[in-house]
């Protein structure tokens, strides 16, 4: 299954860079789940 591209705002990119590896992994998990269930 091909997933959707996710665009992020510069503020979000800054926030993502500030996260620990564990927290970034959590974000990634939820973004993938959202992309898998997008319509």
pLDDT in tens, 4-38: 778 899 999 999 999 999 999 999 999 989 888 87
Instruction: Check if the beta carbon of residue 34 is closer than 8 Å to that of residue 3.
Output: no
Domain count, the chain: 1
Q: Which domain holds residue 13?
A: 1-39
pLDDT at position 1, please?
62
Does residue 2 have a pLDDT over 80? no
The number of residues in the chain equals 39
* pLDDT confidence of residue 36: 85
Q: What's the distance, CA 3 to chain centroid?
A: 12
């Amino acid at each position: 299954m091909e997933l959707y591209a996710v665009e992020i705002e510069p503020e979000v990119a800054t926030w993502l860079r500030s996260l620990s590896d564990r927290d970034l992994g959590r974000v990634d998990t939820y973004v993938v789940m959202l992309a898998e269930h997008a319509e």
